[in-house]
A and B are shown apart, each in its own frame.
Chain A
Amino acid sequence: MTNTLLETSGLTKRFGGLTVMNDLDFRINEGEIKGFLGPNGAGKSTFFNLITGVHMPTSGHIFYCNEEITKYRPHKVAAMGIGRTFQLNPLFGDFTVFENVTTAYHLRPHSTVGQAFFGTKTYHENEKYIEKSADEILEFLGLDHVRNELAKNLPHGYQKILGVARALATKPKLLLLDEPLGGMNPEEIQFSINAISKMRDKGITVLVVEHNMQILDILDSVTVISFGEKIFEGTPEGMRNDPTVISTYFGGAV
């Protein structure tokens, strides 16, 4: 039996007169790797921003683990166990790669301000654990050889992977990846796809927004939207053969 992890109902977002997301019903099951696809400007990033509380929806509801999180602010959504990356991957540029990841261990384990200030035993134990497991994440994502580089000096592809590393450090149950393959070379793409498919073994549910169709190979299911409306829901194979998807997504070319 699969459980629903995240669900939206009637999610609508308007910026001024512009409707970016219209009455979207969406669900993702626990343990899935799901794709959220659509042409440019379809509202994919907006969807992430609505879930994570960066924007407030005009109407509709978002449920996560049977709790309504519609009005939660970003840090609270993160505390609920939703990790995310960004399309334009902003990062802590003046920190090293390692510091980027250790800083991201803000929630689990969490040291209170008092514990950190007085350097209590819990705090030191937490810090030790964080250093160890940050190195594990870096190794898992192949960033260990740039561990001490400043994040802003990394090539673009590495910065994207660092975004994933940072999101993993929050120990998410649900991971939202915003164009994780964007701007990568073929080698990096292959590596990242492998890494994403391994998330399943770690018990992390993944929702990924992507343009690159290579991602389809590892997806369990797909939702396709266009201009804020859902036009397809199903398996990757089904999507490849769906006439509506072909006409909107691939244009007249197919």
Chain B
Amino acid sequence: MKKTGFAASIPFIVLLVLFAGLPLVLNSRTWIDLFVTIVFNMVGAVSLRLILLSGNLSFAQGAFMGVGAYTAGMLAVHLGLPMWLTIPLGAVMATIIGLITGWPFARLKTVYFSMGTMFMGQALMLFVSAWKKAGGAMGLSRIPALGAALKGVAEGIGIKNYQAAYFVILLLAIFSLVVMYRFEHCRVGTTLRALAQSEEVAASIGVNPTYYRLLAVGVACFFIGLMGGVQAHYMGTISYSSYGMNMTLWLIMYMMIGGSGKFIGPMIGAILISIVQGIANLMTSLSGSSNSAGFVAFSRWLGENSAYTPFLTAAVLLVVAYLLPTGLVGIPDTIRENKAKRADKKEIAAMTQKGGEA
């Protein structure tokens, strides 16, 4: 595949600086909550794209995040295991469940994979809601908090507990993203892309389609499960309803708005749309300490109308679907292609005109 030079890594470095630097300055709980959400969504959308590389669109990523979260949460609450154990175990559990539920459908046409994961994801969360040990419909609460565990470290450096928790989450997210990036940019990623383009040909050169599809599913589920596990410990309370179909659809939206053609696409989509989703909450909280009447009024208006924000995202998605098939990061390509098309049309028009005259 293409060589990645220094220029290609600039956007990643910029993002890294922003995500490491801004939370030091914007250190209220509301801001950090927003940053944490963005980080989770980024990893989620990227993991979704990893499966898409092999041609399969998964509709269960939200549920696998839930599997990670519930596994970590229940191990901590019921067995009292420490976090450094519960979080990885959550990831492992998400991988196992992901492979078991993905396996039957990875062997069939891609459209079956979408239907199958859609069903399995919803079924999983329904089971959780019916399970008393998992807190049932009330959700699971009193999960040991990540911030509290980091109290000593945080005080040592002179930052707040939840800030320290954020940085741990950021480190895990960076680890996840780096692994998935490497996974895509070595030979394995090429094989997955090949599989997406023609399964028939891929099999004829010796690629085991089921193995590679499940490999992508496994890796993606591991990291979304990891994020789920951390999320359980960050929030302290989790509910099955936040890992349902909606969560998955949001992840799909982040990926597709950002653009699924490039690694950074889902990250950009997650950042932008998560901010849109969180803005009302953020403004309301900020307006408490503001002196500007206009700002307060505006925040209140935003807060009151926050139920309408999904319209904005949906509108963006529809615009992207019709006008920018390769998403936001694909805009330069789209412009270039449209130009080329227009030039072609002109050429053809000129040719036919000439033909008419002759």
A contacts, CB < 8 Å to B: 52, 54, 73-76, 78-79, 83-84, 86, 90-95, 99, 102-104, 106-107, 111, 113, 116-117, 119, 123, 127, 166-167, 169-170
Contact = CB atoms under 8 A, between A and B. Distances in A.
Given A74-B203, A75-B207, A78-B206, A93 B197 contact: yes
Contacts of B290: none
Given A75-B207, A116-B188, 13 more contacts: A73-B208, A74-B200, A74-B204, A78-B204, A86-B200, A90-B198, A92-B197, A99-B1, A103-B190, A116-B186, A116-B187, A117-B186, A166-B201
B182 A170 contact: no
27 contacts: A54-B203, A75-B206, A75-B208, A76-B208, A78-B204, A79-B206, A83-B204, A83-B205, A86-B204, A92-B193, A92-B198, A95-B193, A95-B194, A95-B197, A99-B190, A102-B190, A103-B205, A106-B191, A106-B207, A113-B215, A117-B186, A117-B188, A123-B186, A167-B204, A167-B205, A169-B205, A170-B205
Given A92-B197, A117-B183, A117-B186, A52 B191 contact: no
A90 B206 contact: no
B209 interface: yes
A63 B221 CA distance: 40
A127 B183 CA distance: 16
A94 B193 contact: yes
B205 A106 contact: yes
Contact of B203 (A78, A103, A111, A119): A78
A90 B200 contact: yes
Nearest to A114: B188
A189 B1 CA distance: 32
Interface string B200-220: 110111111100000100000
Given A75-B207, A75-B208, A83-B204, A92 B194 contact: yes
Interface residues of B, number: 22
Contacts of A76: 208
B187 A127 contact: yes
B261 to A, nearest CB: 10
Interface string B138-172: 00000000000000000000000000000000000
Contacts of B187: 111, 116, 123, 127
A91 B198 contact: yes
Highest count of chain A CB atoms <10 Å: which of B187, B188, B204, B215: B204
The 10 residue pairs across chains A and B that have the minimum distance between CB atoms: A74-B203, A78-B206, A107-B206, A116-B187, A116-B186, A104-B205, A75-B208, A90-B198, A92-B197, A106-B206
A84 B182 CA distance: 31
A52 B204 contact: yes
A83 B203 CA distance: 10
Nearest to A101: B205
Given A111-B187, A116-B186, A78 B205 contact: yes
A78 B186 CA distance: 22
A54 B186 CA distance: 28
A169 B206 CA distance: 11
Nearest to B261: A94
Contacts of B194: 92, 95, 103
Contacts of B186: 116-117, 119, 123
Given A106-B191, A117-B186, A170 B206 contact: yes
A73 B208 CA distance: 9
B201 A91 contact: yes
Nearest to A80: B206
A216 B210 CA distance: 40
Contacts of B193: 92, 94-95
Contacts of A111: 187
A91 B202 CA distance: 9
A184 to B, nearest CB: 20
A92 B1 CA distance: 13
B41 to A, nearest CB: 25
A94 B201 contact: no
Contact of A90 (B1, B190, B201, B207): B201
Contacts of B191: 103, 106
A116 B193 CA distance: 15
A116 B219 CA distance: 15
Contacts of B205: 78, 83, 103-104, 106-107, 166-167, 169-170
A54 B198 CA distance: 14
Nearest to A74: B203
A117 B215 CA distance: 12
A113 B188 contact: yes
A110 to B, nearest CB: 8
Interface string B176-196: 000000110011101101100
A162 to B, nearest CB: 11
Nearest to A105: B205
A158 to B, nearest CB: 16
B183 A84 contact: no
A78 B199 CA distance: 14
A76 B207 CA distance: 8
Contacts of A107: 205-206
Nearest to B187: A116
A104 B190 CA distance: 10
